[in-house]
Structure 1
Amino acid sequence: MKMGNVIFSIIWLLVLIFVSFWIAGIAAGFYIIILPFTVCIEALSGLTDFLLSVVQFPKYCAQAMVDGKGFD
């Protein structure tokens, strides 16, 4: 692992802890509330798909941290 990768891993760790957990938690609350309504209002499916991807943002951050990936 190169030094640049270590620095990116540390940055991704900070993003994971201070940003993604909070955003994912808020999005999860909205996702749980809105999801049952998609049965009746099919137009909400796009919104719930987006919220699900936001809920999965910590996984993306963790994978980028392990890989030492930059912000490309």
Structure 2
Amino acid sequence: MGNPIWFIFWLLVFWFISFFVAFFCAFFYIIIYAVVVCVPGLSGITDILLQGLQFPHYCAKAMMDCKSLF
């Protein structure tokens, strides 16, 4: 079992940061993803935005594993 301090850290990041990041990325992801059909060069941006959408999942998994930053 990991250090419970990391659980608390990831819990705070999960509640106070990850949802804002996900909401921000979701808005732009939906718009840009439709444009990727016409402009394939934007696919790199949509990949980054998709990672932002998945950030709450990453935080929740790190919280349950008590994963450290390093």
**Range into which the TM-score falls when normalised by the shorter chain:** over 0.9
Q: 1:36 matched to which residue of 2?
A: 34
TM-score, with structure 2 as normaliser: 0.95
Displacement of 1:26 after TM fit? Answer: 0.4
Residue among 11, 25, 38 paired with 2:23: 25
| Aligned structure 1 segments of 4 or more residues deviating by more than 6 angstroms | none
Q: CA RMSD in A?
A: 0.9
Matches within 5 A, 1:1-72: 1=1, 5-72=3-70
Displacement of 1:34 after TM fit? Answer: 0.8
Which amino acid letter does the alignment assign opposite residue 54 of structure 2? Answer: Q
Whole-angstrom CA distance in 1 between matches of 2:49 and 2:37: 16
Whole-angstrom CA distance in 1 between matches of 2:32 and 2:40: 11
TM-score, with structure 1 as normaliser: 0.92
| 1:3-53 residue CA offsets vs partner (Å, 9 max, x unmatched) | xx2110011000000001101110010001111000000000000011001
